[in-house]
Structure 1
């Protein structure tokens, strides 16, 4: 009967039937509207396989929803020492809402933390500020570096990496390449003196901030980084001053316990400005709209903290020639009691 009926159909009717069959062949459950899919999943007892497919679609929908996170706090540990574990805290707020909704996630191990960060990178998530606390590490530093890389991939506006005060073992942390740092983050502070950071990295970051442009995957893009601060070793600080400004450092001590720092250079026109604040001291340099600061926090004289900072300024300060660095001049660093 069907064959006879189809044989007797007009050409237009046949064409309509053919198009309809082709269209129906391309339709599936996944083509239904999102709100209808949600209702089906909620009210019907679907077979396991079909429910899995709906779950996957719902997950895709969730991943595509734009989400804004004001602040994210992450603690990274590998479980070597008791009392530390991986966790992540997300705080969401806007200027129109006084109350802050806080959501805490506890992760059992490092793999869960890395998987969570990887999922966030696949989501349509914008993060304003991230603070990473390295609290415990005694294992392979490659897993830690992978987690740090995923955090940079989130492209937060501000990122701070610090170490726990009670950290017993300090792993060597590798930051992403300078091009990724300057492309992904606007404000980066690393208070952690165990980095695979070299003097060439510092020179590259500073020069790129001065120029305002960088090469990123064969493209010339604007440098996003506006503020960069990193804790360095004494050796790296001195290497940076030598390579960037041609300044060498000598130290002198007296029998009375006084210690002096003497800055030397073949270039008499070095434009560095010296400031002493209590026991702390800093050298400043200005090029374009970028201020370079090489800072010593000597609150603990026997174990000072050395910091290098680059900051983009909206306008240059009025420079005081009285503070201009005097070459071959003994600057008092500290007095040790004998």
Structure 2
């Protein structure tokens, strides 16, 4: 049967609404994090900017307290990358997504681990991480001493990939810092991961937060494969994009008017909005490479203008004095006066979170 065709702009507005980027929402941070199936969190402070852009009146101390109380954790899950998730999601998703970590390890370190007894390495590493947190460098040293003939770096990654772990606090707390240290999920949360959620549930949650989307999109976001059979057995709405590809959606997925205005939004490093589809043109029509900078986060990221990725931002704190600080906006095209004013207004709000509201905002075009 003929499918309803959704334009790129219609998909853009649907995604922005579901990501709470058309209008900031209200409510606890845990509710939004659960609804979005986590927030990307390789840069440990990035989720603070992600939540600030999505929640009205967001208080960074709320997120820090949720991490301290272990109601939220940072763990490697979707795509074998670090996400900030609820404790319940961490416990229920780890086993479901374990094949992604296994495949990632083999792809990255298969040659280095040839001949090694990976099961023995992981068992010993799990025992260590169940007792106390270990940085990867410390884990590397201990494993290398025990098995000097095998690649110590690869062994440390095998443990971190194949053992369900969390990144422990104080790393990731607002205004604090600490080493990137790992501990087992079971020892940190006091419960073992269990496979109590079917893959169907994960696909439905993805579509509710990122849809309408293709099978390839779901697979890109999760890192899982062979999801066509899962999508086919679900009761979903079916659309087509402007190139005829089938897109799937939950029955009650909102589709706002494509002409709905989209406000300027600052996104942090690695925001899932930009990384969770195989076809990312709905928010990145030019196909520009998404910058993936190192660092702790909350200092740089991307900027949505009329719903699309059209600029980058970077907060310079000033090495010598506060007078040298700036919020630097680098746009990918010439900005209109109205766009620049909107960016300045939203940027001034961002500075109340990450810096000093008196910090000057400067502009450049690449």
TM-score between the two structures when normalised by the length of structure 2: 0.21
Calculate the TM-score normalised by the size of structure 1: 0.23
Larger strand percent: 1
More helix per residue: 2
Computing the radius of gyration from Cα coordinates, the structure with the larger value is: 1
